Amino acid sequence: MLFALVLVAAACGSDADDSADGTSDDTSSDSSGDDSGDSGDSGDSGDSGDSDDEVELTQGGGTLAAVQARGSLNCGVSGAAVAFSFTQPDGSVTGLDADYCRAVAAAVLGDADAVTFVALTAAERFTAVQTGDVDVLMRNSTWTQSRDTDVGMDFGPTTYYDGQQLMGRASDGFTGSSAVAEIDGATVCTNAGTTTETNISELAAVLGINITLNTFEDFNQVTDAFIDGTCNVITTDGSALVGRKAEQQPDGEEWVIFPPTPISKEPLGPVYGQNDSQWADVVNWVVYATVIADEYGVGSGDVDAALSGGAPEMIRLLGGEGELQTAMGLSADAFYNVISQVGNYSEIFESNLGPVGLSREGSANAPWTEGGLIYAPPAR
Ligand SMILES: N[C@@H](CCC(=O)N[C@@H](CS)C(=O)NCC(=O)O)C(=O)O
């Protein structure tokens, strides 16, 4: 069933505080920042508070059939998120989020390359989900209560457990063990429409410190402003800081990430339109399939062996017995295509996040059998 829903949403980047150059200033001592941060804030969609712009929502099922008929998955990404979704000079998009777009396309269309990547800023991303402009969003998006319960969106399984940190210069006295209170008086920069901006405002107020918070439309502007000295400190998901440091730290400078324990929980994963249970099942079980294959150590090169003589659960997952996947409208071999064409969770993690120095070991992204949180329900 398809139904259309109309809601009032804030236009992207239309924060009244935004100046012409796309930045806005705020201070933590004014803790008026909307801590929903997500939908309730400036450019972030889903807000019903401060704009007359009307966005038509097309929801309520049928996404799987629509994607199959189109022959391509519209997948929302950043395009500028190092190691998660980064547009390369040749136009290809690489990263963990990009690979999960490919995994969904492999399951639904049998072809991991059947993806149309849609680059979205943080402030644009949720409107694109709500309007159906993207079938799924894979864009460093934190699962929060307000985002999940606002009209139009649901969240899938977490693909990367992140947390917000800060990055400053060693030459300014920051070290990896610096406390957040040490940013008192600093100009702190981040991007608009994120949990990040509201978390840091809230924490500064709690700590009783004063910061000047500058927000920009995209994170390239944030790092540029850090490099040119406009910002003393930048803040976002720790994984992004690691990626930016790896790619952009100038010779002769040392950027340090602190505090050692992140200031927030940022569970990142897929976001899709609500009221489409079949599509939710598809996206969720694509993620779970990569996790289960990882639990069995079945990677992209092992699928045929696993199908012919592997564990019963792997045989079911790969479509060799029981045709479990057909109940959600996929072909029985849908997850065979996912694992053979894209890989299991570890392969996706290591190939994308390994090069910037991120590791699963000892983190929440370790398998549940090693004390981590990466866990999937059984394929039965
Ligand atoms: N996880 C947070 C922050 C998401 C976010 O926008 N992160 C930054 C750093 S990864 C970003 O814009 N990345 C993409 C980019 O650099 O354009 C949220 O969901 O609000």
Query: Exposure of 302 by Cβ count < 10 A (0-12 exposed, 13-18 middle, 19+ buried)?
Result: middle
Ligand 1 mean position, distance from CA 58 (Å): 25
Ligand 1 in reach of 196 Cβ (< 6 A)? yes
Overall CATH class of domain 63-160 = alpha beta
Q: What is the pLDDT of residue 19?
A: 28
Rounded CA gap, 233 and 61, in Å? Answer: 44
Find out whether 376 and 368 touch, Cβ atoms under 8 Å. no
Mean per-residue pLDDT, 286-292 = 98
Q: Per-residue pLDDT tens for 144-194?
A: 999 999 878 999 999 999 999 999 999 999 999 999 999 999 999 999 999
What single-letter DSSP state applies at residue 277? H
Tokens 């969240």 correspond to what residue? 155
Q: Is 83 helix (H, G, I), strand (E, B) or coil?
A: coil
Rounded CA gap, 309 and 264, in Å? Answer: 44
Q: Which residues are bridge partners to 162 per DSSP?
A: 266
Length of the chain: 380
As annotated, the residues of the chain forming the CATH 3.40.190.10 domain(s) are 18-40+161-267, 63-160
Tokens of 301: 């090169």
Give the atom of ligand 1 at the shortest distance from the alpha carbon of 190. Answer: 8
Kindly report the CATH number that applies to the domain delimited by 18-40+161-267: 3.40.190.10
Choose one of 166, 236, 257 to mutate for the ligand 1 pocket test, by most ligand atoms within 8 angstroms of C-beta.
Answer: 236
Q: What is the pLDDT of residue 54?
A: 53
Higher pLDDT, 54 or 72: 72
- Other CB atoms within a 10 A radius of the CB of residue 262 amount to 18
